[in-house]
Amino acid sequence: MRIARSSFFAAAVWSGALAAALVPSSRAAAQAVCPDPIPLALTTVLTTDLALLGVQPRNGLQQAADDINAGAGIAGKKIKLTVEDTGTSGAGALNALNRVLEGKPLLVYSSMISPQVFTQTELIKKAELPFIVGATNGRITDQGTSWLFRIHVHDGQLAEMLPTYVVNTLKKTKPATLVVADDFGLGAQKGINATFDRLGVKTVANESYAPSDKDMTSQLLSIKDKGADAVVIFGRPAEVTIIMKKIKELGLSYLVVGNASVAAPTTLANLTADEADGAVAIGGMIPQFGADPAPKEWAAKMLTRFKVPADNFAVAYYDSLFLLKQIIEKVGCDKDAIRKELSGTKDFKGMLISYVADQKGDLAHKAGIYRLKGKTPELTGTISEAGF
């Protein structure tokens, strides 16, 4: 793993890359033979209690499409983005995908909801369409299809990054884990412990809780009794909120280092500044909380337009459309050629990180490190997956 500090230079590079992307060269325009408009599609959750999460891909892609269309388009052609609501079920996700396929899209996006992406992948393989997703289950890119690409860091990467930060940066020697007892949490716990083992550190406690639990007192006290100096938590915002409140209530002093749920808006909205202060979240890059002005300005524009704060997923999907623009202007609207170019992505500069494709189709290999100052996340640096 490599840890680096965020800088103003990164924003300047991104701004320059964005400006260049909006004006294609005549050579690229000549190569791109595409319908007008170029049809793209997205399936995501736009209703039910997951809508606040599901709108982020739509908002990021819609803003990118509008920014590109306001310029020269893609090789002189406009983008048409079709969006279908999946609801929360696998059947809904499959039905939404079938609906968008009727429009013969050049490429399909899906959301960060992993079970839905698993449901859709087989149909994508049959359709032989490039498929870009933000889903965070580590196994998403293990499904054996060369058409699927992921643009956001995943749980398997975080299971390496969190322990690495705890040991190498924080110098903690007696960590514990506390995770939700389902595939999401228990899978992460296994990976977290494997990383601690590689780093030569043994966890003093490994606790879990049921997704429906409302009181984790016994687990937290067990962690205290075993002398932990830090606890790595892996859960969803509602659960993480309960944990952080209880830590403060019990007067526990160990440091909390967790996945992105620690700094999620829904978590922070339900904590006091005292309950949140000092915890660390590691996850996808959030545009509002760094020193660089360009991402902050973009986030302000997104909030004004969509009335929802842009998050790490909105950034990733926004970046991905500019990556696609670059590819189409190189190889045209040939689906297989686009797939091959996505597979060969090297150092594409996005808003906050650069994207590099690995052999599985994962494009994102860097996460942000956010320490809570009261209820405000502050970007203290980044951490990269080993080898990137």
Structure tokens at 331: 């190889």
CA atoms 318, 324, 326, 329: torsion sign: negative
State residue 1's pLDDT score.
Answer: 53
Angstrom distance (rounded) from CA 80 to CA 213: 44
Buried b (16+ CB within 10 A) or exposed e, 231-259: bbbbbbbebbbbbbbbbeeeeeebbbbbb
Angstrom distance (rounded) from CA 211 to CA 318: 32
CATH architecture of 2-152+289-357: 3-Layer(aba) Sandwich (3.40)
pLDDT along the chain (388 residues), means of 10: 42 45 45 86 93 93 98 95 96 97 98 94 96 96 96 96 97 97 92 97 97 95 97 94 97 95 89 97 93 94 94 96 97 97 97 97 97 95 94
Structure tokens at 356: 């590099």
Angstrom distance (rounded) from CA 350 to CA 332: 21
Q: What is the residue extent of each domain of the chain?
A: 2-152+289-357, 156-283+370-384
Select from 111, 59, 70 the least CA-distant residue to 87.
111
Question: What's domain 156-283+370-384's superfamily in CATH?
Answer: Response regulator (3.40.50.2300)
234 three-class SS: strand
State residue 53's pLDDT score.
Answer: 87
State residue 24's pLDDT score.
Answer: 46
At 111, give phi and psi (nearest 5°): -90, -165
Fold agreement between 2-152+289-357 and 156-283+370-384: yes
